[in-house]
Amino acid sequence: MTGWRSYLTYGNVQWSALALVAAALPWNNVAVSNAQFLLIGAWLAEGVHQRDLWGRFRRAFTDRWALLFISIFLLHVIGLFWTQDLEWGLDLCRILLPILVFGTILPAMPALTERGMWGILLTGAYSVVLSTVACMLLAHDRLALGDYRGVSMFISHIRLGLLLCMAVAVLVVHRPGRKGLRVLQLLAVSWALAFMWMVGSLSGAGALMATAFALGWWRAGMLTGTPRWVVRGTLVGLLAAGAWSIIHLVTDGPPPRPLDPEALPERSVGGERYYHDPQDPQSENGHYVWIEVADRELERGWSRASKVPFLGRDRRGQPLRSTLVRYLASMGTTKDSVGLAQLTPEDVRRIEAGVSDVRTGRRGLLLTRIDQLRMELDRYRVTGDPNGHSLTMRFEFWRTGLQIAREHLWTGVGTGDTRPAFAEMYDRTGSRLALEWRHRAHNEYLTLLISFGVFGMLWAVLAFLLPAWGLKAYRAPVFIAWAAIFTVSCLTEDTIETQVGATFFAFYYALLVFGARRINAERPPRSTA
């Protein structure tokens, strides 16, 4: 073969399919699935052509490490036998098929070269960065409205944050020889970090911290004696200080001005008696929300400024009255005709859109998200109502999940019965969560415990750890970074129960453990590469 046909080998098609999976992850689920079909087709066709199809399956299913990894998928299949909700159980097994696909093909394929490995990793990294550029071009106006979820146009903002962290790790670890490529990588990393700051990606920030710590710990392993433990002790101290700072920002923050209930004015300038609730701690921008509220003045004035009913809902589905009162509080003004007079037409549009803080969209959304978390915690402490707030609802998910796990500690409820188990427990405990917010665990470890019991969860964890240890993937900094990102993501999400999350797990694990097995075996235990 000559020319372009010389490149159409089975090996090159399989490599291209792997690169397409990495490239498609931040864009489109259909493209991810099609890339996997291409990989399967090329792998099977090569086996038929070389009359080695059975040998390929034999190599995959007699490799103890590959079998152990695939057993994560098989565990979910076995869990169907004591499942009543087979519809969800089968759907979850479908979502987890990438574990079977990549866990079978990559161990049976020839090991990737270092150049081939970096080609796939860099393709994925730059594709993620380009997807965020597209998001910003198409949805930049949503930033001004504080809609951090809506900025992620193609996949969940949480999954995008994980992929961005992986991209940053790949680009930081890779050392290109050409200066132009080094500059390009620096620009890509800078943009990725700026994007996470602008959209307020808390999950991304947490994963980045974990990645930096894990890579620092790994790097310190190249030192010996006292310097190693000095560096690692410093890392632990920095991590503790960072965690304390974040907790302090979220739980304390700048307090509102001291409030003397006796000194609150009785009536507005227009003569209406104010509504005051000094016991409600909710504040915006350092100002109490539920004081100095004159509802009749607000309703009259708002009806002249907007067609959205005062007692209706904003575009986010929130009560517009609450959004308006919070917005005025963030401006530091009274919630009456005087406060309304200070609103500009732009402010009115922002309130209609559901923006509740005058600062939203005018500074990094990461700071806005921290303020929102603080407000959620304040409301939860006083009222016990978690509805509609991502952090405090998770407290309810985890509490309910632990109650289910205690009742099914040994065998779990089965692959598909997590949803009915949660629904039943919410009813039994009289949960304050509204029906539309009664979700599952949002913690992958807890979900595994609920589904398969303590032994099933331990098996899944060992099936994750042992192949990486046995094939020495822990020697590779990119694997260390990916493992840190994935491990942290599982604390607040059921990461592998969505197509992007399951593919992120199965693809990168199989690539970095099985695909890179020769690279890792040849890598010195304390290699810097």
Q: For 408-418, write each residue's pLDDT tens digit.
A: 999 999 998 99
- Look up residue 258 and give its DSSP letter: P
Element at 287 (helix H, strand E): strand 287-288
Amino acid (1-letter code) at residue 302: W
* Two structure tokens written together for 504: 């992120």
Alpha carbon 32 to chain centroid, angstroms: 19
In a domain, 26, yes or no: yes
DSSP 3-state of 223: coil
Quote the pLDDT of residue 78.
96
For residue 488, is it within any domain?
A: no
Q: The tokens of 63 are what?
A: 């490799």
- Widest CA span of the chain, in angstroms? 91
What counts of helices (H) and strands (E) characterise the chain?
A: 23, 2
Is residue 412 in a domain? no
In the chain, how many domains are there? 2
Q: Which domain covers residue 313, as residue numbers?
A: 261-352
List C-alpha distances in Å: 193 to 134, 188, 303: 16, 9, 42
Residues with pLDDT less than 50, the chain: 1, 527-529
Q: What is the pLDDT of residue 93?
A: 95
Task: Enumerate residues 6+ apart whose C-beta is below 8 A from 294.
Answer: 268, 270, 272, 273, 274, 275, 334, 335, 336, 337
Instruction: Say if 516 falls within a structural domain.
Output: no
Rounded to the nearest 10 degrees, the angle between the axes of helix 365-383 and helix 390-407 is 60
Residue 232 lies in a domain: no
Residue 528: what pLDDT?
Answer: 41
How far apart CA 440 and CA 400 sit, in angstroms, is 9
Asked if the structure places residue 14 within a domain, the reply is: yes
Query: Can you give the pTM of this predicted structure?
Result: 0.86
The pLDDT value recorded for residue 1 is 47
Structure tokens at 99: 């574990």
The pLDDT value recorded for residue 198 is: 82
Q: Is residue 321 part of a domain?
A: yes
Q: Are 302 and 340 spatial neighbours (Cβ–Cβ below 8 Å)?
A: yes
Q: How many CB atoms lie within 10 A of CB 297?
A: 22
> DSSP string covering 384-408, please?
---TT-HHHHHHHHHHHHHHHHHHT
- The span from the first CA to the last CA of the chain, in angstroms, equals 36
User: Which residue in the block uniquely carries the two structure tokens 């004015």?
Assistant: 265
- What does the CA dihedral 8, 14, 19, 22 come to, rounded to 10 degrees? 150
Radius of gyration of the chain (CA): 27
- pLDDT score for 228: 83
State the DSSP code for 528.
Answer: -
Query: For position 529, what pLDDT does the model report?
Result: 39
Phi, psi torsion values for 287, nearest 5 degrees: -125, 135
Q: DSSP E strands: which ranges in 67-175?
A: none
Tokens of 303: 């009806």
Which amino acid does the sequence have at 9?
T
Question: 428 phi and psi, to 5 degrees?
Answer: -65, -35
Q: Tell which of 352, 380, 395 closes a domain.
A: 352
User: What is the phi/psi pair of residue 445, to 5°?
Assistant: -65, -40
In a domain, 520, yes or no: no
**Cβ atoms 109, 14 nearer than 8 A:** yes
The crossing angle, in degrees rounded to 10, of helices 29-49 and 10-24 is 170
Contact between 165 and 205 under an 8 Å Cβ cutoff? The reply is no
Q: Which residues contact 222 (CB under 8 A, 6 or more apart)?
A: 526, 528
Output b/e per residue, 91-113; b: 16+ Cβ within 10 A. Answer: ebbebbbbbbbbbbbbbbbebbe
Domain's final residue, options 308, 333, 352: 352
* Contacts of 138 by beta carbon, 8 Å cutoff, 6+ apart: 153
The two three-digit tokens of residue 305, written as one number:
């400024």
CA pair distance 218, 226, nearest whole angstrom: 15
- Asked if residues 253 and 374 have their Cβ atoms less than 8 Å apart, the reply is yes
